[in-house]
């Protein structure tokens, strides 16, 4: 049995590779998404409570800082869940991205401080 004319040029075995989303999926698992949403909502509530009951400008600033940190965690959880979780249905992913966008647009990170600084409150 005779081999081909160039036996050294056989195809080289390449190990199968995983897409980048498979490496990042544990970062945005269902549990991590649920924790991010719950912690983000809790911090937004706590920041609004501090901001509403504060009598000094330092208390108001602390309240806005806690609220904006909760908003950051919540919006990051929604965006990363919508963009990196390719095992979810496309409508669920679309809803995650749209809800994160609407939260940033309507609630905003520092929206209350902009109104407060403008003297409208």
Higher pLDDT, 7 or 49: 49
Q: pLDDT tens for residues 62-79?
A: 998 899 899 999 999 999
- pTM for this one? 0.72
Are the CB atoms for 104 and 75 separated by under 8 Å?
A: yes
**What integer is the mean pLDDT of 1-19?**
66
Torsion of CA 74, 99, 102, 76, to 10 degrees: 30
Higher model confidence: residue 6 or residue 1? 6
- Give how far Cα 93 sits from Cα of 31, 34, 36, 54, Å: 16, 14, 16, 38
């Amino acid at each position: 049995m005779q081999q081909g004319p160039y036996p050294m040029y056989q195809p080289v075995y390449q190990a199968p590779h995983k897409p980048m989303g498979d490496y990042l999926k544990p970062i945005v698992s269902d549990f991590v998404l649920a924790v991010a949403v719950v912690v983000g909502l809790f911090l937004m509530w706590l920041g609004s409570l501090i901001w509403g009951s504060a009598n000094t400008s330092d208390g108001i600033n602390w309240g806005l800082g806690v609220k904006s940190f909760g908003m950051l965690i919540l919006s990051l959880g929604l965006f990363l869940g919508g963009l990196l979780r390719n095992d979810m249905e496309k409508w669920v992913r679309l809803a995650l991205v749209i809800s994160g966008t609407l939260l940033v647009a309507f609630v905003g990170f520092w929206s209350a401080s902009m109104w407060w600084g403008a003297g409208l409150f």
